[in-house]
């Protein structure tokens, strides 16, 4: 009985352990694999990420100069980031927001990395 | 007259698709037949299309709760065939994350058990405590559950001195929180009424039926694969946790005491963590040969058989998960108990059906 009273009183005065989620969000930890981005203008479209990805969610097309990831198939393992030769892929800690529609993250390269494209063309 | 009742595959207390065909005489169970196969995903077959490195991410998904240990065992196998020795620091880091996985798995299970016998507050407290472990995982490894830190040849992330200090601090808090719920487990009438003397598995039965993990140790057999000293366990002092009674309560207490043990192991690992590299380079590995590796998961002994054929795709990966070994002992526990106790007894082996069926 004494235990219970003490617990009840303690619970009245202590901070809640839960959050009112959409209104109140927790600060993400740094270095969390939250979302995958590509700095497309530096990408050499080598296709290494597509080859190494265990869930086959990246599609690189050299012809149309596009790089596309299916954020709903990606498992956020970070393997592609480690294998990118020019380090243009990176992960950021805020998680992806919920969405009503599944939209692919499709990026089109406009200019491309100046020197490296030339080198590859020669 | 006897009645046959299907228990599962969808059951309010059991999130796993375990299906038991239970024969009842009045309220007493006389026989139980398991029916498995609802969540077979064919993960073992994926070796033919995923190469050696990609398989690490695949085997992690055999079981969400003990993903790190699956990947660890798989990497041990491949490294064993290739004859690679990984850096000592990587061995230690792998075990730190494995033990964190053990903690969060046991806390999750404890919560589910409390939920099964209707003690919602204990369930919520266990999961609140578990959240601390998940935070550690998220902040250090980058993901909450499937943390993807193992790779063939080592680990993918390091722990900085700051992070190690923070983990040690969290472990202290965790220990205090566990001390706070300990009286509930040891003294509470509700807990004891539903678990003491229910689903007894004798020492002989446990041994003969091939029980593993806490189910075996709860029946008084001191067998723990970690004692074989794989990975960094050879540098750590610990004893297997054993309880004598073999009932659901004994299995609960084994897991609860293993939480303290895991805290202690992580503390020792942090103290003894050597400096050095995180991984060795494995270039264009083409393993040839076969190997069997064992490790201790939260649920018991895990066995991997890996066969390489000299290409970057493995020929065969065979996984024997602990629940597979624990189903026959479960069937021995069920006859003689009341129907209302079936969920608690079924949960007391900590069934993980998804990993059994892979
Ligand atoms: S690996 Fe890097 S550079 Fe190559 S295609 Fe992918 S993102 Fe572009
Ligand atoms: S994070 Fe993993 S799953 Fe996602 S795109 Fe990169 S390699 Fe593929």
CB-based burial label for A32 (10 Å; 0-12, 13-18, 19+): buried
Residue positions counted in chain A: 122
Residue A10 falls within a domain, yes or no?
A: no
Give the chain B residue nearest A53 (alpha carbons): B54
- Choose among A38, A37, A41, A45: nearest CA to A112: A41
CA distances from B259 to A3, B48, B103, B216, B313 (A): 24, 38, 6, 17, 38
Pairs of CB atoms within 8 A across A/B: 40
ipTM above 0.90, yes or no: no
- Choose among B125, B225, B6, B209: nearest CA to A17: B125
Ligand 2 closest atom vs CA A36: 1
Residue A9 falls within a domain, yes or no?
A: no
- Kindly give the parts of chain A with pLDDT less than 50: 116-122
Measured between alpha carbons, how far is B305 from B307 in angstroms, rounded to an integer?
7
Residue A3 falls within a domain, yes or no?
A: no
User: In this structure, which ligand is nearest to the CA of A112?
Assistant: 1
**In chain B, what percentage of residues exceed pLDDT 90?**
2
Closest partner residue to B57 (CB to CB) among A32, A33, A54 is A54
Contact A55 B57 (CB under 8 A): yes
CATH number at residue A71: 3.30.70.3270
Residue A32 falls within a domain, yes or no?
A: yes
Residue A59 falls within a domain, yes or no?
A: yes
Residue A35 falls within a domain, yes or no?
A: yes
Average pLDDT, chain B: 85
pLDDT tens digits along B128-170: 889 888 888 888 888 888 888 888 888 888 888 888 889 999 9
Q: Give the burial string for B48-65 (b: 16+ CB within 10 Å, else e).
A: eebebbbbbbbbbbbbeb
Enclosing domain of residue A94: 28-121
Contact B69, B321 (CB under 8 A): no
> Whole-model pTM?
0.86
Closest partner residue to A75 (CB to CB) among B53, B57, B156 is B57
Residues of chain B in contact with residue A31, where contact means CB-CB under 8 angstroms, are: 139, 142
User: For chain A, what is the domain count?
Assistant: 1
Residue A99 falls within a domain, yes or no?
A: yes
Chain B CB within 8 Å of residue A31 CB: yes
The domain ranges of chain B are 37-357
Q: What residues flank ligand 2, with Cβ below 6 Å? A: A 36, 53, 55, 57-58, 69, 74-80
DSSP state string for A19-46: --GGGS-PPPPTT---EEEE-GGG----
pLDDT tens digits along B165-207: 899 999 998 988 888 888 888 887 878 888 888 888 888 888 8
Q: Which class would CATH give B37-357? A: mainly alpha
Measured between alpha carbons, how far is B320 from B101 in angstroms, rounded to an integer?
19
Residues of chain A in contact with residue B139, where contact means CB-CB under 8 angstroms, are: 29-32
Residue A113 falls within a domain, yes or no?
A: yes
Mutate to test the pocket of ligand 1, among A36, A47, A79, A89 (most ligand atoms within 8 A of CB): A89
Residues of chain B in contact with residue A11, where contact means CB-CB under 8 angstroms, are: none
Give the chain B residue nearest A28 (alpha carbons): B139
pLDDT tens digits along B88-110: 888 888 889 989 999 999 999 88
Give the chain A residue nearest B49 (alpha carbons): A54
Measured between alpha carbons, how far is B83 from B314 in angstroms, rounded to an integer?
16
């Amino acid at each position: 009985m004494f235990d219970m009273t003490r617990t009840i009183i303690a619970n009245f005065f202590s901070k809640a352990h839960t959050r009112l989620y959409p209104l109140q969000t927790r600060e993400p930890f740094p270095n969390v694999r939250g979302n995958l981005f590509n700095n497309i203008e530096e990408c050499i479209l080598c296709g290494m990420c597509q080859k190494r990805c265990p869930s086959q969610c990246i599609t690189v097309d050299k012809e149309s100069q596009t790089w596309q990831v299916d954020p709903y198939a990606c498992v956020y393992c970070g393997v592609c980031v480690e294998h990118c030769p020019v380090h243009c892929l990176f992960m950021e800690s805020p998680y992806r927001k919920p969405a009503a529609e599944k939209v692919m993250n499709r990026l089109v390269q406009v200019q491309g990395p100046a020197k490296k494209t030339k080198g590859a063309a020669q | 007259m006897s009645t046959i009742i299907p228990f599962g595959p969808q059951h309010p207390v059991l999130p796993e698709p375990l299906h038991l065909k239970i024969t009842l005489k009045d309220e007493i169970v006389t026989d139980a037949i398991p029916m498995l196969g609802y969540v077979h995903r064919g993960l073992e077959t994926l070796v033919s299309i995923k190469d050696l490195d990609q398989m690490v991410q695949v085997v992690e998904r055999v079981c969400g709760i003990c993903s790190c240990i699956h990947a660890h065992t798989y990497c041990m196998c491949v490294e064993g065939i290739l004859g690679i020795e990984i850096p000592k620091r990587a061995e230690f880091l792998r075990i730190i994350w494995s033990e964190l996985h053990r903690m969060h798995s046991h806390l999750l299970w404890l919560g589910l058990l409390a939920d099964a016998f209707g003690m919602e507050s204990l369930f919520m407290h266990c999961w609140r405590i578990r959240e601390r472990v998940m935070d550690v995982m998220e902040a250090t490894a980058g993901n909450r559950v499937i943390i993807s830190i193992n790779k063939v040849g080592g680990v993918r992330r390091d722990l900085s001195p700051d992070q190690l200090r923070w983990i040690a601090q969290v472990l202290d808090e965790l220990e205090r929180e566990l001390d706070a719920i300990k009286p509930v487990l040891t003294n509470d009438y509700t807990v004891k009424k539903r678990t003491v003397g229910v689903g007894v598995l004798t020492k002989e039965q446990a041994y003969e039926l091939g029980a593993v993990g806490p189910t075996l140790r709860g029946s008084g057999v001191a067998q723990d694969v970690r004692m074989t000293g794989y990975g960094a366990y050879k540098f750590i002092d610990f004893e297997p946790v054993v309880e004598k009674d073999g009932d659901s309560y004994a299995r609960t207490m084994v897991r609860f005491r293993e939480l303290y043990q895991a805290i202690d192991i992580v503390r020792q690992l942090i103290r003894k963590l050597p400096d050095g590299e995180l991984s060795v380079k494995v270039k264009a590995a083409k393993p040839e040969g076969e190997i069997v590796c064992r490790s201790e998961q939260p649920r018991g002994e895990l066995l991997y058989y890996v066969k390489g054929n000299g290409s970057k795709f493995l020929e065969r990966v065979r996984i024997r998960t602990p629940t597979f070994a624990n189903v026959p002992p479960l069937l021995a526990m069920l006859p003689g108990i009341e129907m209302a106790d079936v969920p608690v007894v079924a949960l007391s082996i900590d069934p993980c059906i998804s990993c059994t069926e892979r």
